[in-house]
Amino acid sequence: MKAVRIHGRGGPEHLVYEDIPQPQPGPGEVLVRVYAAGVIAPELTWDETYVTSKGVSRPLPIPGHDVTGVVEAVGAGVSEPNVGTAVYGLTAFDRDGSAAEYMLALPDELTQKPLLLDYVQAAAVPLTALTVWQALFEHGSLMAGQKLLIHGAAGGVGVFAVQLAHWTGAYVIGTSSERNENFLYDLGVNEVIDYTRIRFEDAIQEVDMVLDMVGGDTLDRSWQVLKKGGVLISVANPPSVEEAKAHGVRSVWFIVEPNRLQLHQIGELIDAGKIRPVIDTVFPLSQARQAYEQGAKGHTRGKIVLRVKD
């Protein structure tokens, strides 16, 4: 089968499109014929990409953990999903990914693809929407009427953060450059702060929650806009526990986990027309290197997707 593998730690220049043997499902595994894969540009630098949680080295890993496609075969003991089912899912970061014609997944990582979406659209959903779901509702308990500041609102995670927060009934403030202002208002944001012109801490205060997808200095300046008892959730960098204490707020850092039930609920919201994926660019699998190069620039609107099967 055709696949993209990482031939060296570093950047997209190490991605090679090549022929490799097709995997076969072992007990408890699902073989998916991949139709499309989401691009997660930073994964080329993550430790999990090169060493499993059990410390086993992975010399030529396949990137991509957002998968959509059709179940081709299942291993012993798998009762669901059935062969022939159209599925989408987020798979674990320390196993081979979806930038390939076939991949192995676990049943708990997959659920039925939303009916309203084609495969390319569906590949833009799992990692980003699950990250937001877990941030807002598991780690943060966002409620209607609360004020939320989203850093990186126009990015892959941000577009679902805006929509799910709006759906919850929160007052949503997003940071982005001016280019994305109208786009974010269309998605449901209440206020946009152009981070290239305005320091957000001069424009807002007393927010209940900050969801940070930018990190660094943006994260460091976020403590002062929170009200006492608020929460700062970052998925970009771990926030300082000391700063949180000093400001009387809670801080959260977490890594998104595959979750079939949550992904099913997200799919229901998509099919009900409440939220939708946003696709920046679609590349063929053979151009994965260009796709990861574009993602690494940090100005993606929504998600970059690899089309694996026409």
Ligand X SMILES: NC(=O)c1ccc[n+]([C@@H]2O[C@H](COP(=O)([O-])OP(=O)(O)OC[C@H]3O[C@@H](n4cnc5c(N)ncnc54)[C@H](OP(=O)(O)O)[C@@H]3O)[C@@H](O)[C@H]2O)c1
Using CB under 6 A as the criterion, which residues of the chain lie in contact with ligand X when the complex forms? Answer: 42, 127, 131, 151-152, 154-158, 175-177, 179-180, 195, 213-214, 218, 235-236, 255-256, 298-301
| Nearest residue (CB) to ligand X, 89 versus 152 | 152
Q: How far is the CB of 93 from ligand X (least distance, A)?
A: 9
Size (the chain), residues: 310
Q: What are phi and psi of 156, to 5 degrees?
A: -55, -50
Q: How far is the CB of 175 from ligand X (least distance, A)?
A: 4
CA 96 to chain centre: 17
| Nearest residue (CB) to ligand X, 48 versus 72 | 48
- The answer for residues whose C-beta is within 8 angstroms of residue 246's C-beta and 6 or more apart is 223
Nearest-angstrom CA–CA distance, 145 and 205: 15
Q: How far is the CB of 25 from ligand X (least distance, A)?
A: 27
Q: How far is the CB of 127 from ligand X (least distance, A)?
A: 6
138-300-223 Cα angle (round to 5)? 45
| Nearest residue (CB) to ligand X, 107 versus 302 | 302
| Nearest residue (CB) to ligand X, 93 versus 102 | 93
Q: How far is the CB of 83 from ligand X (least distance, A)?
A: 31
| Helices and strands in the chain: count of H runs, count of E runs | 9, 15
Residue closest to ligand X when measured from CB atoms: 155
Q: How far is the CB of 223 from ligand X (least distance, A)?
A: 16
| Nearest residue (CB) to ligand X, 25 versus 251 | 251
Structure-token pair, residue 257: 């986990």
| Nearest residue (CB) to ligand X, 121 versus 131 | 131
| Nearest residue (CB) to ligand X, 25 versus 126 | 126
Lookup result for tokens 């500041």: 149
Q: How far is the CB of 260 from ligand X (least distance, A)?
A: 17
Q: Which helix (H) or strand (E) holds 208?
A: strand 207-212
Nearest-angstrom CA–CA distance, 103 and 99: 8
Letter string b/e over residues 21-60, b meaning 16 or more CB atoms within 10 A of that residue's CB: eebebeeebbbbbbbbbbbbbebbeeebbbebeeeeeeee
Nearest-angstrom CA–CA distance, 39 and 303: 7
